[in-house]
Amino acid sequence: MTTSLPQDATPQEGAPKPPAVGRLAPTPSGRMHLGNAFSALVAWASARSQGGRVILRIEDLDPRAQDPQNAQMLVDDLRWLGIDWDEGPVYQSDRTDVYLQQIDALAQKGITYPCFCTRSELHAATAPHASDGTYLYPGTCRGLSPREVAERSRKRRPATRLMVPAEDDPNGTIVFEDLGYGAHEECLAHECGDFLIRRSDGVVAYQLAVVVDDCQMGVTEVVRGRDLLPSSARQIYLAGLLGMTPPRYGHVPLLVAPDGRRLSKRDHDLSLQALREENVSPKVVVGLLASYIGLAEGGEEIDAADFERRFSWDAIRSHRDDIQADASALLPR
Ligand code: GLU
């Protein structure tokens, strides 16, 4: 059976619609840029426009992202934009034991294995595959004998991978309807292969943590940049294995710099920090972001509440291409 999620399924007549629960899930690796602000605004507006709740989760699993100052600045930037939340901030770094329990549960099912491949071995063996830079893992360590595992463990701490079904097994083909990008189908064996659930430095992998959090926190919709669209299939698959109900997914277009580069937290000129330092008002920023998806006229100033009132997923569905963002127009010359 193909794992299929009817995302826009009409609830049965008379059945009360469960309240929407959205989430903001920033990684504190730097200040927010306009692209982060755009997806946070859409995630918030989507949940609030349905009368739903919002959870703030700080994704600081990677020790390099465990920077309380950065986390505090993200919280300030969100508030400055006019975004609020009902729960959190919840820090992923406080939840390691919860993730490890779930990794154990998968190991008990016999569907995980230690992987000793180094990053350079992986890069040499395969070409970058999916648009998110995922490598198709060729299964190098899948068949290691217990003796080989013991021998290799003496030299190198292994990562942990999750086995995905063979290409011809329909269980490994995930079909879902994205709120922004429509029907999506992905064969895991073909797109990513066995994927990491724990890194060799012991850090729990993003895919595992995000599923456990979203499901355990009762999140009903995950809204984020379209670079994470290919991850959704892995996340739906993992949720199924862990006996959890996956949320709906809605991806939004990416913002790119005027020269076509994808915005990154290093693009200081497009950070909220730079705009705030120049005393640009949040209404100008929200107005600019709204204009990218036809919710405001160019130059119109609106606040987050206006954005929410005007928001519908149709706006995203009719603006799916990457957006050239030029915040320099907002800065004084
Ligand atoms: N923490 C990720 C980021 O800041 C988002 C992950 C997600 O939304 O699933 O880009």
**pLDDT recorded at residue 13:** 58
User: How many helices and strands in the chain, by DSSP H and E?
Assistant: 12, 13
CA 236 to ligand 1 center in whole angstroms: 16
25 in a labelled binding site: yes
CA 224 to ligand 1 center in whole angstroms: 7
Spatial separation of the C-alpha atoms in residues 145 and 7, rounded to whole Å: 42
CA 77 to ligand 1 center in whole angstroms: 16
Spatial separation of the C-alpha atoms in residues 120 and 124, rounded to whole Å: 6
Cis preceding-peptide flag for 89 (omega within 30 of 0):
yes
Residue 26 Cβ inside 6 Å of ligand 1? The answer reads: yes
**pLDDT recorded at residue 123:** 77
Residue 104's contacts (CB-CB under 8 Å, 6 or more residues apart) are none
> Among the residues of 227-332, which ranges form H helices?
229-241, 272-277, 282-292, 304-310, 313-317
CA 154 to ligand 1 center in whole angstroms: 35
Beta bridge partners of 250: 223
Residue 306 Cβ inside 6 Å of ligand 1? The answer reads: no
Q: Which amino acid is at 145?
A: S
Residue in 60, 89, 47, 101 with CA at minimum distance from that of residue 212: 101
Residue 177, helix vs strand vs coil: strand
**pLDDT recorded at residue 8:** 44
**pLDDT recorded at residue 1:** 40
Spatial separation of the C-alpha atoms in residues 145 and 147, rounded to whole Å: 5
Residue 228 Cβ inside 6 Å of ligand 1? The answer reads: yes
CA 151 to ligand 1 center in whole angstroms: 37
**pTM for the whole thing?**
0.92
Residue 210 Cβ inside 6 Å of ligand 1? The answer reads: yes
215 in a labelled binding site: no
Query: What does the domain layout of the chain look like in residue ranges?
Result: 20-95+211-327, 98-198
> Which H or E run contains 103?
helix 96-108
Residue 25 Cβ inside 6 Å of ligand 1? The answer reads: yes
**pLDDT recorded at residue 223:** 98
115 in a labelled binding site: yes
Fold of 98-198: Glutamyl-tRNA Synthetase; domain 3 (3.90.800)
Quick one: tokens of 197?
């659930």
Residue in 104, 41, 59 with CA at minimum distance from that of residue 250: 41
pLDDT in tens, 3-30: 444 444 444 556 677 789 999 999 998 8
Q: Which amino acid is at 258?
A: P
**pLDDT recorded at residue 221:** 98
**pLDDT recorded at residue 332:** 67
Residue 273's contacts (CB-CB under 8 Å, 6 or more residues apart) are 31, 73, 77
Spatial separation of the C-alpha atoms in residues 158 and 97, rounded to whole Å: 19
Residue 234 Cβ inside 6 Å of ligand 1? The answer reads: no
Quick one: tokens of 42?
């859409």
Residue 211 Cβ inside 6 Å of ligand 1? The answer reads: no
Residue 224 Cβ inside 6 Å of ligand 1? The answer reads: yes
Spatial separation of the C-alpha atoms in residues 65 and 323, rounded to whole Å: 27
Q: Which atom of ligand 1 is nearest to the CA of 235?
A: 9
Instruction: Please return the burial class of 95, using the count of CB atoms within 10 Å of its CB with bins 0-12, 13-18 and 19+.
Output: middle
CA 153 to ligand 1 center in whole angstroms: 32
Q: What is the greatest pairwise CA distance in the chain? A: 67
**pLDDT recorded at residue 120:** 82
133: left (phi over 0), alpha (psi -120 to 50) or beta: left
Q: Among 3.30.530.20, 1.10.1370.30, 1.10.260.40, 3.40.50.620, name the CATH number for the domain at 20-95+211-327.
A: 3.40.50.620
**pLDDT recorded at residue 128:** 57
Quick one: tokens of 190?
């073909």
**pLDDT recorded at residue 6:** 43
As averages over each run of 10 residues, the pLDDT of the chain (333 residues) reads: 46 69 95 94 98 97 90 96 97 97 97 93 67 78 96 96 97 98 96 96 97 98 96 98 97 90 72 91 96 95 98 97 82 67
Mutual angle of helices 282-292 and 34-49, in 10-degree steps? 80
Spatial separation of the C-alpha atoms in residues 197 and 56, rounded to whole Å: 23
